[in-house]
Amino acid sequence: MIDYSVFPEAPGCYLYRDARGEVIYVGKAKNLKKRVSSYFRKQERDPKTSRLIAAIAAADYIVTGSETEALILENTLIKRHQPKYNIDLKDSKNYAYIHLTAEPYPRIGIARRARGAGEFFGPFVSAKERDYVLSVVKKSFGLRSCRKIPKRPCLRSHLGTCSAPCTGEIDEAAYAERVRRARTVLRGQAKELAGALRGEMEEHARNLRFEKALELRDEIAAIEHLADRQQMVRRPEHNEDIIAYQVNGENVYLMIFSVVKGTLTDKQEFVFEVSEGFFEEFLVQYYGEHEPPKEVVLLEEVGEAVADYLAERRGSKVAVTVPRRGDKKKLLDLAVKNIELTFFGDRMKTEALQLALHLPEPPDVIECFDISHLSGTAMVGSMVMFRGGKPDMRNYRRFRIRSVEGIDDFAAIAEVVGRRYRRLKEEGGPYPDLVIVDGGKGQLAAAMGTLKRLDVQIPIIAIAKREEEIYVPGFPHPIPVGRDEKASLFVQEIRNEAHRFAITYNRLLRGKAMTE
């Protein structure tokens, strides 16, 4: 089974590979870890998914900045790898464009490809958003959508959503002005246009032309709302390599993003020993075996000799860019984020927890307890262990609650904590670096009381579900750690795993009881 614990809780795409290393499935996710783990946790699967899981030998992922970027990347990866189990998406087309035709009275519509005369805007990453943009632009500017100008006014003319050049009431110049405004919006400059139109609206109002002012007011409102929803893919006309690295200890961790005309298509990872001038040496070796793209985006400047070498390898000039802002800087930051999550994600989580709790060392071994029951029936406890930031499933434990009747989570926590550490004390086994209990101050006090009676000293905290507040001994209020901070997210991850393990055992016992 794939170790899904290595997947981050971040948006991106996951790739499943078979024993030959070929990509057999590509998927996108808002939360990679939750999505990938769901494949292996489900007890009942359809035949296709069962065949897929049986064929998986390895898995990889690429983190993106948002779910929308994951959507774009998924489409690109499917087209590149043609994975066996993406049957429904194999023949999917590119995201469609909005098309303004090259006619005296241009028509607005949808085009699957940017070919032929006229102007194309997009591609849009969502069909729903594309249709919304088309609808608003068409209605706001009264552009025609008919393939041939009819001899009689159509329904849109009667409804007032088309300027109706078929009636002769609008000349080419006035219609061209509407097209110009529509073109400005479709190029993503909606807010600039809204500002200009607001000036016109105020002038019409001052001159008592209220009907025209109201018309512009509605147009401005539609444009401003549209600006927040418009989503298109960046489309430079050349390919780029985005190269970022981090030095940690004696090693360099480097990642290359391949960007084809604005769309991230692949990543490559490298680890090698650090040495003087390692980055330029890497570029020379890598591009000695790969043709350089038209642009290489780097974290730092390189010598002119390297740039000349890339140009010689390509046979034409190669732009070497070190961006400080904009889309390319975002891609560089995304590459750095992937490096951190791929190579240092687990260690970063434990170090964040160390800082938040003021521990002397990062907690390498963490044990977390949770209680599960249904109105006091089938009460069970769970203990999960995380080692080095990852679940250590071989050391998970589950408990049937023996000494508690009715609903008493405090007593149940005290029992399972006592059973766990009494046994470790008797066996002389190593204690964890940190103990977490699911609950608030009450559960924390119950667990601490048990440890005190056993004369066992282990750092311990509790996490309350609703607000994800973390409590530590000796403080009446939760510690100031935000629920979205890395330390809190790590504690939530551990707690959620303990909760899942407890619920699974509770359902198992209830199922057995019902069968009996």
Q: Residue 193: what pLDDT?
A: 64
Q: Residue 263: what pLDDT?
A: 65
- Class of residue 277 by CB neighbours under 10 A (exposed 0-12, middle 13-18, buried 19+): exposed
Q: Which domain holds residue 52?
A: 4-89
Question: Domain for residue 349, yes or no?
Answer: no
What does the pLDDT average to over 463-469? 87
* Comparison of pLDDT for 130 and 415, the residue scoring more: 415
Question: Domain for residue 269, yes or no?
Answer: yes
Residue 53 to residue 309: CA distance in whole angstroms: 45
Same domain, yes or no, for 283 and 323? yes
Question: Domain for residue 353, yes or no?
Answer: no
Same domain, yes or no, for 216 and 249? no
For residues 431 and 412, is the Cβ–Cβ distance under 8 A? no
Domain end, chosen from 35, 64, 89, is at 89
What strands lie across the sheet with 58-63, from one edge to the other? 23-29, 12-17, 58-63
Residue 374 to residue 379: CA distance in whole angstroms: 7
Same domain, yes or no, for 196 and 110? yes
231 pLDDT tier (thresholds 50, 70, 90): very low
What does the pLDDT average to over 33-39? 85
Residue 93 to residue 454: CA distance in whole angstroms: 65
Report the range of poorest mean pLDDT among 223-232, 304-313, 329-338.
223-232
50 pLDDT tier (thresholds 50, 70, 90): confident
Q: Report CA Rg, the chain.
A: 30
Q: Residue 128: what pLDDT?
A: 63
What strands lie across the sheet with 263-273, from one edge to the other? 263-273, 251-260, 240-248, 295-298, 319-321
Same domain, yes or no, for 114 and 205? yes
Q: pTM of the entire structure? A: 0.54
Highest-pLDDT range among 17-31, 134-148, 440-454: 440-454
Q: Residue 448: what pLDDT?
A: 94
Q: Provide CB contacts within 8 A for 190, sequence distance 6+.
A: 184, 223, 224, 226, 227, 230
When divided into structural domains, the chain yields a total of 4
Highest-pLDDT range among 165-169, 361-365, 378-382: 361-365
Domain end, chosen from 173, 195, 229, is at 229
Q: Is the pLDDT of residue 483 over 90?
A: no
Q: Provide CB contacts within 8 A for 127, sequence distance 6+.
A: 95, 96
Residue 499 to residue 383: CA distance in whole angstroms: 9
* Comparison of pLDDT for 72 and 392, the residue scoring more: 392
Question: Domain for residue 34, yes or no?
Answer: yes
Same domain, yes or no, for 325 and 374? no
Q: Is the pLDDT of residue 294 over 80?
A: yes
* Comparison of pLDDT for 226 and 414, the residue scoring more: 414
Highest-pLDDT range among 81-95, 178-192, 390-404: 390-404
Question: Domain for residue 111, yes or no?
Answer: yes
Report the range of poorest mean pLDDT among 105-114, 133-142, 422-431.
133-142
Residue 437 to residue 21: CA distance in whole angstroms: 41
Question: Domain for residue 24, yes or no?
Answer: yes
CATH label of the domain that carries residue 288: 3.30.420.10
Same domain, yes or no, for 381 and 301? no
Q: Residue 285: what pLDDT?
A: 86
Same domain, yes or no, for 111 and 250? no
Residue 282 to residue 484: CA distance in whole angstroms: 37
Same domain, yes or no, for 105 and 181? yes
Q: Is the pLDDT of residue 94 over 60?
A: no
What does the pLDDT average to over 318-342? 86
CATH label of the domain that carries residue 392: 3.30.420.340
Same domain, yes or no, for 415 and 474? yes
Looking at the chain, the number of H-run helices and the number of E-run strands are 15, 18
Q: Provide CB contacts within 8 A for 264, sequence distance 6+.
A: 62, 64, 69, 72, 73, 76, 257, 258, 331, 334
Q: Is the pLDDT of residue 95 over 60?
A: no
Same domain, yes or no, for 379 and 506? yes
Q: Which of 238, 391, 415 is nearest to 316 (CA)?
A: 238
Q: Residue 366: what pLDDT?
A: 95
Question: Domain for residue 357, yes or no?
Answer: no
Q: Is the pLDDT of residue 89 over 70?
A: no
CATH label of the domain that carries residue 25: 3.40.1440.10
Same domain, yes or no, for 28 and 102? no
Q: Provide CB contacts within 8 A for 408, sequence distance 6+.
A: none
Q: Residue 458: what pLDDT?
A: 94
Domain end, chosen from 89, 114, 146, is at 89
Q: Residue 367: what pLDDT?
A: 96
Question: Domain for residue 348, yes or no?
Answer: no
Same domain, yes or no, for 263 and 225? no
For residues 488 and 468, is the Cβ–Cβ distance under 8 A? yes
